[in-house]
Structure 1
Amino acid sequence: MPRLTRWVVAIPMAALALATIYPLVFTTNVAMKTRREYVLDRFSLADSLSWDNLVKAWTSVGMSRYFLNSVVVVACSVGLLLLFGSMAGFALARLKFRGSSALFLGVLAALFIPFQVIMVPLARIMADTGLVDTYPGLVLAYVAQFLPFTIFLLTSYYSTVPPDIVDAARIDGNTVYGVYWRIMLPIGAPALLSVGVLNALFCWNDVLISLLMMPSAEHRTLMVGVTSLRGQYSDDIPTFASGVLIAAVPVLVVYLFLQRQIADGVTAGSTKG
């Protein structure tokens, strides 16, 4: 690649990277400031590294409770999504039955339905069944919202598995459940990890579904808790910035250490092998 062409590509990429990193650096700097320092000059560097705002956001503001709520909901949601998604993906990819093609098309169609379209009916159903403001209600809402995406990716991945492997397992005496548990789950481990990471990020970053299903302050998830801080601490921006930082750090860590799995999840099943 000619040097000029490399510069043409490198300069916009560097500008994009700077635009992505700067908000996090600015938020971290604000979180380290006192209210007085922020009022005097919001763009200057903090005089010292002070963790008082982070401690206040974690303890007094209630971010620790919101964090725990998110961990519980995300863990349960991802576990159910991987369980149901892997079973459905295996069935649609390797168990040809009447209506399987129509069922897969239905899964594809569900991917194009925005949550705003089903928001009101879902809220009424959850209210009628007493699941509003409960952990199971929010978990079921996440499973319903992200299951089509999970099924689609895992079906695409399992479709790349040679059918001879499944046939050999059946000849060895494995039932359908045995093939799923002993063969397809271990083979699909990379795809399961990738899809699990993506679903965890989706659930962790969600605001709309959580705000709809968890109206009480006690059951708020972390992202909803952060949005509520903006109104409660509009005159204490360093505390608000600390809450944003607490919510952003887990996502940043996941991206740093599992970026390859995230990329693989986006392209799962797109290539053979």
Structure 2
Amino acid sequence: MAGRGMTRWVVAVPMAVLALATVYPLLFTANVAVKTRREYVLDRFSPPGSWNWENIATAWTTAGVSRYFLNSAVVVTCSVALLLLFGSMAGFALARLRFRGSSAVRLGCLAALFIPFQVIMVPLTRVMADTGLVDTYPGLVLAYVAQFLPFTAFLMTSYYSTVPPDIVDAARIDGNTTYGVYWRIMLPMGAPALISVGVLDALFCWNDVLIALLVMPSADHRTLMVGVTSLRGQYSDDIPVFASGVLIAAVPVLAVYLLLQRRIADGVTAGATKG
């Protein structure tokens, strides 16, 4: 019994330290965001004397975070929708359809996961410039789809591979075409995986700085993370306003995780426990 208790402590203490290291930056940022500039200069770690919500209002309006937020919301929504559509189609085709070169395509998706974006960013930027897609919403959406589609397709392929073949055979016997099997059977069955992959893709796109900075260089079209990064230079003498922008950028990610954490965990483990 004593040995079991010691084992729990050995696991619990490192996990508690890891949780504190994860939560502390957010708490520190929130603490700085509601301080006055004078309070921050005197003591950046102490609690605020009064809750100064004007910093958040200044970041949202004067600093242009509201515009950056809207840009990110539009781009991330469109990108995730296309990623889930194409990724689920590719996953179904690679998992359940046999065609010439299917193994090579599957290996290609896996290999693409190991290619850093820095390797392809110069050719991508030149292609975007030649096609007139630089500084446009469609250009950034297509860049995100191209970058994260291999990841989405690979995970959906792994999930659909666990679906019993009898289900697909039964759907074909009922008269469904290949499209009908995908739309009526496989797409609804893939909902847990789609939610998990969709959240991960949304986080990737929302937190991206490098791709957005290359494809959307103008100030009016900046995404939230690029815009918040630029605030560090504009408000170098007013750190509470900069912290407010960082807090605004972090709140949607935290809210999505808290609302969907159980669905995310179920989707991640579904492929390993199904069938």
How high is the TM-score relative to the length of structure 1? 0.97
What are the Cα deviations for residues 201-250 of structure 1, in whole angstroms up to 9, with x where unaligned? Answer: 11001111111111001000000011101111110000000000000111
Identity of aligned residues (%): 84
- 1:85 aligns to what? 87
Matches within 5 A, 1:70-149: 70-149=72-151
> Does the Cα contact within 8 Å between 2:84 and 2:198 map onto a contact in 1?
yes
Over the aligned positions, Cα root-mean-square deviation in angstroms equals: 1.2
SS of the residue aligned with 2:241? helix
1:168 and 2:170 aligned: yes
Out of 241, 253, 258, the position equivalent to 1:251 is 253
User: Which runs of 5 or more structure 2 residues have no equivalent in the other structure?
Assistant: none
> Does the Cα contact within 8 Å between 2:33 and 2:55 map onto a contact in 1?
yes
- Following superposition, the deviation at residue 161 of structure 1 comes to 0.9
Hey, what's the Cα distance between the residues in 1 that align with 2:116 and 2:273? Answer: 28
Hey, what's the Cα distance between the residues in 1 that align with 2:228 and 2:243? Answer: 9
- 2:238 aligns to what? 236
- 2:157 aligns to what? 155
- Following superposition, the deviation at residue 61 of structure 1 comes to 0.4
What are the Cα deviations for residues 3-49 of structure 1, in whole angstroms up to 9, with x where unaligned? Answer: 22222222222122111111111111111111111112111110111
- 1:221 aligns to what? 223
> Does the Cα contact within 8 Å between 2:192 and 2:270 map onto a contact in 1?
no
- Following superposition, the deviation at residue 264 of structure 1 comes to 4.1
- 2:36 aligns to what? 34
- The amino acid across from 1:92 in the alignment is L
How high is the TM-score relative to the length of structure 2? 0.96
SS of the residue aligned with 1:270? helix
User: Which runs of 5 or more structure 1 residues have no equivalent in the other structure?
Assistant: none
Matches within 5 A, 1:4-23: 4-23=6-25
- 2:64 aligns to what? 62
Hey, what's the Cα distance between the residues in 2 that align with 1:100 and 1:73? Answer: 31
- Following superposition, the deviation at residue 272 of structure 1 comes to 3.4
- The amino acid across from 1:70 in the alignment is S
Hey, what's the Cα distance between the residues in 2 that align with 1:268 and 1:140? Answer: 29
Hey, what's the Cα distance between the residues in 2 that align with 1:44 and 1:4? Answer: 36
Hey, what's the Cα distance between the residues in 2 that align with 1:266 and 1:8? Answer: 26
> Does the Cα contact within 8 Å between 2:95 and 2:160 map onto a contact in 1?
yes
